[in-house]
């Protein structure tokens, strides 16, 4: 079935479980400022940038916040989040992820990360997966985060491949939108598994080794 030359992986929620750390840090911040926040709202934060995530949380606030206040809140959340990241080790890489990446690369696929996160370098370093990829495109290099296709287009460019030759693996509605807007085929996992727009539905990342020859 596969004519793909490259695979672009979302990071948070696809390669690792940092999505839970995002939730815990946003939840602590929301509780502190008295804004209701739950896992349902949290689903809308998948794949979108830090400041856009804060704007979604503050939709339920009873007062408005200045840009300076919002910047301070985002910094506070990020410091809490980075506290979780600092404790991660290669043992936090979910079972089968390292083997799946190695198998796909051995089959000749070029592998990239396409993540909205500005913390991508820290996460990949903590998990020991820097050398598993041919290219990384992340939130530090883009002006428009998912659902804009910019980060995936940059990843494909770094792989020197056309979007039509790449499969994007995503856990977020915003990420699937970004992939499709960029002309990529999408595989959905986790929260995006049942997204009607994905071509492949994955129960685990290792399913890719059965799908891709
Ligand atoms: P940061 P992904 C995204 O990562 C997260 O899913 C999203 O929840 C987060 O707001 C965004 O990164 C920015 O993260 O605050 O670390 O820059 O799913 O695109 O890998
Ligand atoms: Mg994600």
Number of Cβ within a 10 Å radius of residue 165: 16
pLDDT the model gives residue 19: 93
Residue 31 annotated among the catalytic residues of the structure: no
Q: What are phi and psi of 123, to 5 degrees?
A: -65, -45
pLDDT on residue 1? 43
Please tell me the predicted confidence (pLDDT) of residue 108.
96
- Quick check: 117 and 145 in contact, CB under 8 A? no
pLDDT tens across the length of the chain (213 residues): 468 999 999 999 999 999 999 999 999 999 999 999 999 999 999 989 999 999 999 999 999 999 999 999 999 999 999 999 999 999 999 999 999 999 999 999 999 999 999 999 999 999 999 999 999 999 999 999 999 999 999 999 999 999 999 999 999 999 999 999 999 999 999 999 999 999 999 999 999 999 999
Task: Based on the residue annotation, tell me whether 91 is a catalytic residue of this protein.
Answer: no
Dump the DSSP string for 19-87: HHHHHHHHHHHHHHHT----HHHHHTTTTS-HHHHHHHHGGG-SS---HHHHHHHHHHHHHHHHHHHHT
Which residue in 176, 177, 157, 47 sits closest to 110, CA to CA?
157
Alpha carbon distance 194, 212 (integer Å): 20
Q: Is 126 in the pocket of ligand 1 (CB under 6 A)?
A: no
Residue 10 in contact with ligand 1 by CB distance below 6 A: yes
DSSP state of 196: T
> 48 CB less than 6 Å from ligand 1?
yes
What pLDDT does residue 35 have?
Answer: 97
Name which residue sits closest to atom 15 of ligand 1, judged by CA.
Answer: 50
Instruction: Give the H or E element holding residue 167.
Output: strand 166-170
User: What is the 191 CA–ligand 2 centroid distance (Å)?
Assistant: 9
Q: Using the 8-state DSSP alphabet, how is residue 180 labeled?
A: H
Angle at CA of residue 138, ends 88 and 202, nearest 5°: 70
- Give the C-alpha distances (Å, rounded to integers) separating 162 from 6, 71, 77, 176, 201: 9, 36, 36, 17, 23
């Amino acid at each position: 079935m596969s004519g793909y030359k490259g695979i672009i992986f979302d990071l948070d929620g696809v390669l690792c479980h940092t999505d839970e750390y995002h939730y815990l840090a946003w939840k602590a911040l929301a509780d502190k400022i008295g804004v209701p926040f739950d896992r349902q709202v949290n689903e809308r934060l998948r794949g979108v940038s830090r400041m856009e995530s804060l704007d979604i949380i503050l939709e339920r606030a009873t007062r408005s916040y200045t840009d300076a206040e919002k910047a301070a809140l985002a910094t506070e959340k990020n410091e809490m989040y980075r506290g979780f990241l600092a404790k991660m080790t290669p043992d936090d890489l979910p079972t089968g992820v390292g083997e799946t990446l190695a198998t796909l690369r051995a089959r000749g696929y070029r592998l990239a990360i396409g993540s909205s996160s500005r913390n991508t370098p820290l996460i990949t370093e903590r998990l020991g997966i820097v050398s598993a990829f041919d290219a990384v495109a992340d939130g530090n290099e883009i002006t428009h985060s998912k659902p804009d296709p910019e980060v995936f287009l940059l990843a494909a460019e770094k792989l020197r491949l056309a979007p039509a030759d790449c499969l994007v693996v995503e856990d977020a509605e915003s990420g699937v939108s970004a992939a499709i807007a960029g002309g990529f085929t999408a595989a959905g996992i986790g929260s995006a598994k049942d997204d009607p727009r994905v071509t492949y539905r994955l129960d685990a990342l290792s399913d890719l080794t059965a799908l891709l020859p």
